[in-house]
Each structure stands twice: as structure tokens, then as C-alpha cells.
């Protein structure tokens, strides 16, 4: 079993134990929704949807691309302000451009080195997404969508080069590992650093001057819509 699937299973266990509620609140999810999405990603990782049956054939992976992308769009659509929406979109393009650019500049040898490229991309995307977004939502959106965007660009580039490069699979070939790792790293960094900053500042901002879309509501059953 690959790392992405193991991380998804681990995330599911944390949700069942009630240890991920605060993160789910920030992503506008409740326990049932989150578990359903995780299960869909695990099952969908084995499903390739054909996009082009010519040479080379092009497909998109349900669990490695479509579901995480749809989740990112959902979270972005619930953004509290236009500024947050813009930062999420900009962060996605910056993370995608960074991964694509580094892949072009540096040719990794999969038979050498201490870490495989897909895990390095996940770490790089997660850290970059947090530095850009500085929030749970924006870190998650930028990390996951940025990885998928970079993979789409690689897929289009490979398809244009011709059949000699073999089938093109968007979200496949280890991309699920990268997407999941990137999203988890981005959110965990935002959670740890964000909580530390809130404690140092005396708690979250609930002032009257805060934008309405970012005001933290009270707890709700099954997960509240917190920042």
C-alpha cells in the first residue's frame, strides 16, 4: 500500500477518534462528509477516467485528481472574503508553477537519493502553500490544487509530445501520494503555527471590525464553519 493511501487511512482514524474536528471546521466539513471523501479518494485511486483514446491515451484519476480538486473548489467557494478567494487562486498557481519549474530545472534520479520525487514535491508544495496562505483553508487549497495543476501541465505537455512517451494519467502514477502529503503538511503547519500564534495573542480574533465572512461562529453539531 502506498503512502497516500496510508495517510488517508490515518486521517480517517483521527476523524473517528474526534481529533481532527478543528481542522474539519476550517474546511467546512463534518465527520461524515470527511470520511465519505476519504473513502472516495481511496476507492477512486483505482479508477482511471479516459479523456482521450488516441495516441497517447489520456486519462484522469478519480481519487488522485478529480475528488481533491472538487474539494478544493468547494472550500474556496466558501471563502469568507474576496481577498481570501484571490489568495487561494494565486497560491494554487504559484505552487503549481514552483513544482513544474523545479521539475524542469532539476532532473531527479528515482534510483538515487534519500527521498522519492513525489514525496519531495508533496513536502515542497505543503510548505510553500502554508507560507503563501498562512491559514488552514488557503494552505489546503494551494497545496492540493497546485500539485494537480502541475500534473495537468505535465500531462498536456506529454500528450503533445506524442505516443512515444506512453499513456498520460492526470492524478495517477504516485500523484495521490503527493496531493495527500501536500495537503496534510500545509494544514498541519497552519494548525500548529496558527494555534501557537493565537495563544500568544490571547485567542482568535472575534472583534466587531472583523469581516463578516471570517467571524468565528459558535459550535455546531457535526462540525462548525470556523475559519
Q: In this predicted model, which residue has the larger pLDDT, 164 or 83?
A: 83
Q: In this predicted model, which residue has the larger pLDDT, 169 or 97?
A: 97
Contact 217, 44 (CB under 8 A): no
**Per-residue pLDDT tens digits for 101-154:** 988 887 665 565 567 778 888 999 999 999 998 888 999 999 999 999 999 998
**Per-residue pLDDT tens digits for 181-202:** 999 999 999 988 877 776 676 6
Instruction: Take residue 41 and report the three cell numbers written for it.
Output: 479518494
pTM: 0.82
Instruction: Take residue 157 and report the three cell numbers written for it.
Output: 505537455
Instruction: Take residue 173 and report the three cell numbers written for it.
Output: 502514477
Q: How confident is the model at residue 221 (pLDDT cuts 50, 70, 90)?
A: very low
Amino acid at each position: 500500500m502506498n503512502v497516500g493511501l496510508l495517510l488517508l487511512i490515518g486521517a480517517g482514524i483521527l476523524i473517528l477518534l474526534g481529533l481532527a474536528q478543528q481542522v474539519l471546521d476550517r474546511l467546512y466539513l463534518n465527520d461524515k462528509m470527511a470520511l465519505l471523501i476519504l473513502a472516495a479518494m481511496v476507492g477512486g485511486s483505482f479508477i482511471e477516467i479516459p479523456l482521450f483514446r488516441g495516441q497517447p491515451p489520456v486519462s484522469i484519476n478519480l481519487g488522485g485528481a478529480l475528488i481533491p480538486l472538487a474539494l478544493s473548489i468547494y472550500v474556496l467557494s466558501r471563502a469568507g472574503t474576496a481577498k481570501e478567494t484571490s489568495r487561494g487562486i494565486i497560491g494554487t498557481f504559484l505552487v503549481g508553477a514552483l513544482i513544474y519549474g523545479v521539475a524542469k530545472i532539476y532532473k531527479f534520479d528515482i534510483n538515487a537519493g534519500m527521498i522519492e520525487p513525489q514525496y519531495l514535491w508533496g513536502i515542497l508544495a505543503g510548505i510553500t502553500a502554508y507560507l503563501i496562505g498562512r491559514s488552514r483553508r488557503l494552505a489546503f487549497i494551494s497545496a492540493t490544487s497546485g500539485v494537480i495543476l502541475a500534473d495537468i501541465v505535465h500531462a498536456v505537455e506529454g500528450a503533445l509530445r506524442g505516443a512515444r512517451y506512453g499513456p498520460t494519467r492526470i492524478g495517477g502514477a504516485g500523484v495521490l501520494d503527493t496531493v495527500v502529503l501536500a495537503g496534510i503538511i500545509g494544514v498541519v503547519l497552519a494548525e500548529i503555527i496558527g494555534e501557537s500564534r493565537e495563544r500568544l495573542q490571547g485567542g482568535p480574533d472575534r472583534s466587531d471590525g472583523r469581516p463578516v465572512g471570517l467571524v468565528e461562529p459558535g459550535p455546531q453539531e457535526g462540525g462548525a464553519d470556523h475559519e
